[in-house]
Structures are given as structure tokens and as C-alpha cells.
Amino acid sequence: MRFDEIAVDALEAHVKNVLTKEEITRLIETPKHAEHGDIAFPCFQLAKTYRKSPQQIAKELSEVCEHPFIEKFEANGPYLNAFLKRKLISKQLIEKVTQLSDHYGSAIDGIGARVVIDFSSPNIAKPFSMGHLRSTVIGNSLALLAEKNGCEPVKINHLGDWGTQFGKLIAAYKHWGNEAEVKENPIPTLLKLYVKFHKESEENPQLSIEGRGWFKKLEGGDLEAESLWKWFKDESLKEFEKVYQMLGISFDKVQGESFYNDKMEEVVKELSEKGLLHESEGARVVNLGEDQPPCLIEKTDGTTLYATRDLAAAIYRYKTYDFQQCLYVVGGEQQLHFEQIFQVLGMMGYDWNKKMTHVPFGLILKDGKKMSTRKGKVVLLEEVLQNAIDKAKDNMMEKNPELKNLEDVAKQVGVGAVIFHDLKNERLGSVEFDLEQMLKFEGDTGPYVQYTNARCQTILTKAERKGHMDKVSGLEDPYSWEVVKLLERFPTEVKRAFDLYEPSVIAKYLLKLSQAVNTYYGNVKILQGDAGEKDNKLALLKSVTIVLQEGLRLLGIKAPKKM
């Protein structure tokens, strides 16, 4: 039973004529100071009905409220404070966590609801840069959180594999490309061609016309255009897969924009039949009202755009998956685009557009500036991850040179550090990239959480040579109680993280739990005391490892047992 549920149970009989269960729950607070108890209930809202001061109401409630999990009630001014029975609650919570193991914190709220999550979505023929990190790790964590909350996630990688830029790339290859160079070093070579095309087209506008012509050929099924495009795509996918393997991320469907080529004509036809399509300066658009720009469906040359493909994708996904939610984990700069897509779907009569949500996020910064492609120079994600792994390996060789499986642990720590550094930041905020900082074993870092878990695992391993955790009777010292209170909050935080589409809720929670555990470890001699006392302390540590490992998993991070 959650702490707020205990308080509601105790209060409901005495205030149900004034407040509902839900209203009582919303009013429950956690006191700022431990000497004021574990739960606080403000009595201000009862004053008008009872025609008494909040202070008097708190005093009267303290004399009549009782609950088997509550040691005592105290009035503290206008607040009714409750002190929980630490030993009883810690006993029950530790038993619950250890019995449920990694199922602790799981919910059935979603009852199998299907959640489609569109994330990562790099562009083919371009490097997998740091710019794609946020969408990739946020989307993956949301999929894991959806599953933990009882939903069925469908992870879709909507590759940027269609559009005018591929006509430009084909034109560039036809002018300056070399087959052997592309085969030997595909992505850098293709990027150079693309950059050269843009530079040359500034002096020669005819090149841009040529690029658009090649894309029109591609849309029309031209064999040469299709062959080159498919080659560029296949080479890109091989490179992308290396990065996904490093991150430990997989997808249920890899369906690029090109997947919807044979579905767009039907969308354009439907828009036209429903009277939504209008001519505008030779292009075809859907007008969205005086205050908004129109949604562009077809260019003057008849080629399609992002909007056309996203409309086709949305309709296909709803028909295929019958989703309860469809999330687009895409940067905040695309907000207007998704507002238009959702509005057009509504105008088409699809009321399920209300189940679609754009999940935006902030930028990755380096020295306060955006990390982005500039004149062909990009910060490659694969290189960043490898650099993090190498630095993690150096750190561990210094701290623990005898460590077995050093390569595997270095990968888990290095990659985990990069992911955690991203996800500990609130989604809409920007992230300052600092590899040295994110790899530290102290402070608000991934390695700090991983090391806390490994430290607990070491103690448990050491203890198992001396005895076993048999009976749990509970703990009541102030240091263990801080840990117990945080363990109790885990299911609530799991739900809140998914409801807000905010993995940082879990990352911040893990930091708090790690801090509380290290304080506990620093003040309590775990392996001292009689057998029963030792068993209780070890059982608490076991519960901590379960929650730390599961919390890290929900962020897409591994938890090595030794570091």
C-alpha cells in the first residue's frame, strides 16, 4: 500500500462528507522535515464547512484518526501529521520488492493498450550524428516505460529516406561520384557529394532544377534513380545498425518515408474528394484558417512533401495497429508541422487524431552552442560513444585493474554515461555536452548510479559466503527509513514518467535513491550485528539493487555487477 493510500484510509471516514478520496489524495503532502512525520494533511479546505480554524480541525483529527500502519497522529498548526510504523512498513515493502523482483513498479493501467512510438529517424546518406541522440534515447525509454505501465509499445524508425534531397544527391553522384569511393567509405563520401552540390548550386542554379528533376524521376519509378537510391539507403542502414547495437536499441519496424509512396495518392484523392484541397500558386494545399499557414500537400511540379507522407503514415498506422496513443519523438522545431498534420486529420474526419502527440525535446549544446552540421562537419554519435567507452575503460583500469570482463563493463559504463547524461535533463530543456563530466563516478551521473548498484552487489556477494537472508523483520533507523521511503515511491515515479513522457523523472529518482543508499552505507555497518539484524540490512540492499537495475533498464542502460 502506498503512503498516500494509508493516509487516505485513515482520513476518509472522518472527512468523507466534505472531501472525496481523490481530493484527499491530491491534498496529501510530504513534510519538509523528518521530525514532522512522514505524511502531512493540510486542513484549510475543511475550515469553511466545519466553521472552525484549520488548527482546531487538525487537533481534533489527531485525536480520532487511526490506522494499523500509523504509529501516531500529531497536529502541527493547520496540518495533521502522521508518523508511520517504520519496522512494519519496511518489512512489508522489502518483502514485496524482493518477491516481485524486476516486476516491482509494473502496472496494469495500460491493460495492453497499443502505443506507437516514432523515434530516432535519421536521414539516409547522412552520418548518424549527435543531433539524433535525444530522439533515439528518449523514444527508447518511453517504449520501455510504456511496457512497464502495461501497454504494448510498437517502436518505429521512420527513416528520412525520401524527398528532394535524394534527387540532389543522385544529381551530385552523377556529376562527381565514384563508385569505389562510395563502397569503401559510404556515408562520408555521400555527405561530401551532398555538401558539394549545395555549394556548386549557389553558383549554378541549374543544378537545383536538375536535383528536383531526379527526385521527380525517383517518384515516377525511374530504374536508374531507384537503383542509386536503394544503394545509398542500404549502405546507410549498415552504418546506422552499428550505432543502434552500441546503444542496445532495436525497433519493431524500420519504415522510412518511402514505405508510404504507394499510399500517398489515396490520401491526396481523399483530401480532394472531401473538398479540402485547394490550388495556391500552382501548388496544392489544405487551408487551416486565417491565423495559420496552409499545409502544403503537393509542390508545383507534383512531387510530395513531408506532410503528405506523414498523413499517409498516420492513416496506415491507425489501420494497422489500432493504437491508443501515437507518439512522435521529434525536435521542438517541428511543432507547427505536427499541429498541421493533426489538424488536417481531424478535418478529414479522423477523430483518432486526438490520440496523437508530438513529444518535443530541446537541443544538445557544446559550450552553449548548438551541435549541428556545418559545412559538412558533424559530431558523429558512433565516435562519441566509442570515446566514452575508451575513457570509461581508462578510468576502471586505474580504479580496478583486476576487473574481469573489462571490455564489456567499459561499454556498459561509457554508453550508459552518454544516455544518462541526456535523460537526466528534462526533455524540453537543452543538454550541455561534456564527456569528462558525464563519466565521473560521483555527482549526478550514470556511472554514479551504476557504481552504487555494483557496491551493493559486492556487499551481498561477500555476505552470502557468511550466511543467508532468512527472515525479514524490518528496520527503523533514520538512514534505512530514507531508503525505504524512496523504494516505496518507485511505482509512482514509473507511472509519472510515462504520463509526462519524461524519462528524467526516473533518472532523477535513481540519483536520489543512490544518494540515500550511500548515506546509509556510510552511517550503518551492514555486516555487523546479530544474524537477524544483518539479514534485514542485507535484504534492504537487495531491494535497492532490484530497483536500481530496473530503473536503469527503463532508461536503456545496463547495470554491471562489478565496476
- In the predicted model, is pLDDT for residue 372 greater than 80? no
Domain of residue 523 covers 381-554
Q: Is 214 left (phi over 0), alpha (psi -120 to 50) or beta?
A: alpha
474, three cell numbers: 524490518
Q: What percentage of the chain exceeds 90 in pLDDT?
A: 75
- In the predicted model, is pLDDT for residue 376 greater than 60? no
Structural contact between residues 319 and 311, judged by C-beta atoms closer than 8 angstroms: no
Calculate the CA 551 to chain-centre distance: 12
Residue the block writes with cell 559466503:
465
CATH of the domain at 395: 1.10.730.10
When mean pLDDT is compared across 229-233, 415-419, 493-497, 528-532, the lowest value belongs to: 528-532
Average of pLDDT values for 381-393? 94
Pairing of strands 356-359, 295-298: unpaired
pLDDT tens digits for 202-217?
A: 889 899 999 999 998 9
Residue 375's pLDDT is 47
Residue the block writes with cell 521529434:
330
Pairing of strands 369-370, 364-366: antiparallel
Average of pLDDT values for 137-158? 97
Q: Quote the mean pLDDT of the chain.
A: 92
User: Is 192 a domain residue?
Assistant: no
Which of 40, 64, 84 lies at the terminal end of a domain, its last residue?
84
Give per-residue burial for 262-285: e unless 16+ CB within 10 Å, then b.
eebeebbeebeeeebbeeeeebbb
Which of 61, 84, 107 lies at the terminal end of a domain, its last residue?
84
Q: Which residue has the higher pLDDT, 112 or 257?
A: 257
User: Is 488 a domain residue?
Assistant: yes
Indicate the helix (H) or strand (E) that contains 482.
Answer: helix 478-499
Count of domains forming the chain: 2
Q: pLDDT tier at 106 (50, 70, 90 boundaries)?
A: very high
Structural contact between residues 369 and 131, judged by C-beta atoms closer than 8 angstroms: no
- In the predicted model, is pLDDT for residue 488 greater than 90? yes
Average of pLDDT values for 187-200? 89
> Can you tell me the distance from the alpha carbon of 378 to that of 15, in angstroms, rounded to the nearest whole number?
62
User: Is 409 a domain residue?
Assistant: yes
CA dihedral sign, ordered 441, 443, 445, 450: positive
User: Is 60 a domain residue?
Assistant: yes
Give per-residue burial for 511-537: e unless 16+ CB within 10 Å, then b.
bebbbbbbebbeebebeeeeeeebbbb
Choose among 193, 196, 185, 191: nearest CA to 239.
Answer: 185
Q: pLDDT tier at 112 (50, 70, 90 boundaries)?
A: confident
- In the predicted model, is pLDDT for residue 373 greater than 60? no
Residue 467's pLDDT is 53
CB count in 10 Å sphere of residue 301: 14
Helices (H) and strands (E) in the chain, counts: 21, 14
User: Is 332 a domain residue?
Assistant: no
CB count in 10 Å sphere of residue 233: 17
Structural contact between residues 469 and 95, judged by C-beta atoms closer than 8 angstroms: no
Q: Is the pTM of this model over 0.85?
A: yes
384, three cell numbers: 562519441
Q: pLDDT tier at 299 (50, 70, 90 boundaries)?
A: confident
- Exposed/middle/buried for residue 473 (C-beta within 10 Å: 0-12, 13-18, 19+): middle
CATH of the domain at 52: 3.30.1360.70
What DSSP state is assigned to residue 185?
S
Contacting residues for 19 by C-beta, under 8 A, at least 6 apart: 27, 45, 46
- In the predicted model, is pLDDT for residue 125 greater than 90? no
When mean pLDDT is compared across 20-34, 35-49, 455-469, the lowest value belongs to: 455-469
> Can you tell me the distance from the alpha carbon of 350 to that of 312, in angstroms, rounded to the nearest whole number?
13
Structural contact between residues 425 and 504, judged by C-beta atoms closer than 8 angstroms: yes
User: Is 455 a domain residue?
Assistant: yes
User: Is 540 a domain residue?
Assistant: yes
Which of 53, 84, 115 lies at the terminal end of a domain, its last residue?
84
117 by DSSP, 3-state: which? strand
Residue 110's pLDDT is 67
Structural contact between residues 109 and 148, judged by C-beta atoms closer than 8 angstroms: no
User: Is 463 a domain residue?
Assistant: yes
Average of pLDDT values for 463-482? 81
Indicate the helix (H) or strand (E) that contains 155.
Answer: strand 152-157
Calculate the CA 40 to chain-centre distance: 32
Average of pLDDT values for 460-479? 80
> Can you tell me the distance from the alpha carbon of 116 to that of 356, in angstroms, rounded to the nearest whole number?
9
> Can you tell me the distance from the alpha carbon of 71 to that of 62, in angstroms, rounded to the nearest whole number?
12
Query: How far does the chain reach from its first CA to its final CA, in angstroms?
Result: 35
- In the predicted model, is pLDDT for residue 142 greater than 70? yes
